[in-house]
Chains A and B, each alone.
Chain A
Amino acid sequence: MECPIQARGKKDLLLDYCAHTLGAGPAAQMEAHIAVCPECKAWTEAHMRTWTLLDEWEAPPVSPDFDRRLRERIAMEREQTPWWKAIWQSVAARPLKPALSMALVALLLLAGLLFVRPRSTPPVRPGHEAIDAERVEKALDDVDMLRQVGSAEDTKDAGAM
């Protein structure tokens, strides 16, 4: 086997060997070569040491509320998109056929009638709207954030509260 360090454009084989991504046959050939080539042996040993060191750097776990915060952002975007724009965007992405366009007209008419109809339900008094666990979670998150922002004790633990 040609020496990967001496040969042009073959050094990636050494990388692949160290990353265990070479097929069984080529890996066996590489091993046989490394056994007789001091340069390749030194290279792979040094590379594996570096690889092991890189392994020591673990990423921290993902926050448990990551998905919830993303859902909130998506919901907020939806809230900020005017209803007619949301429908239009949805329609514009699809090719229209005559039968579908009639169905769409009927749907938009219904949506328009619903929009202009005066609301009959009375407004909820502040502080008396329905309370659910997700809103409590959000409230406690916000209070925790305010506590961290206001606290002169520089704790680094987000779960301290």
Chain B
Amino acid sequence: MSEGFPISVTGLNHWFGMGEARKQAIHGVNLQVERGSLTVLMGPSGSGKTTVLTLMGCLRDVQDGSVQLLGHELKGADRALNEALRRRLGFIFQAHNLHGSLTALQNVLMGLQVHGLTDRKAQQDAARHALSLVGLADRMEYLPANLSGGQKQRVAVARALVGNPDVIFADEPTAALDSESGMTVVKMLKKLGQLRGTTTVMVTHDNRILELADRIVTLEDGRIVRDTAS
């Protein structure tokens, strides 16, 4: 691992489009994220925070510069490495992206079965526990269509956390939640960092979360303009 950082970004540049439409979205970003920390990426729309998040989460190919994730260089990484690394990550999307045909419990189980179906009973128990933690013990057999927006987001959070990921990438995870539920989720992420050393990188516009962040990184026009430790 690059000097002990689970995430280390050096000289990262990224472009979108081709030919004359090619536009640089990220300009020489450097960032090291400490293990177990809760880092918040802020900035106006189009500032590049989501692009940085997807590059760090090996969801997008690194074009220029270096991104080290959990000790592996992502530039030039093949599909197998990307898949292996993704299995060590947890993603919480702004749109919950739950599978509509699966119950809440089955959606959470998908977060475990990516590691193989070793002990079915243990996986069921873990999934039930994760749903209980987000307050959905009584909604386990519900299909997403029968859950409210907040409940769906909590299922997505349980799905991201159930596999005990090393790093969690979250994009506006509290957008669909009321203030109390939102704070509960962020506190849970913070607690995971303290207990398990889970690193969280979160994109948010929610100012209420900032007080819980260990570090706030602000981007504008694809550049880091402010980097504040709490």
Question: Does B associate with A?
Answer: no
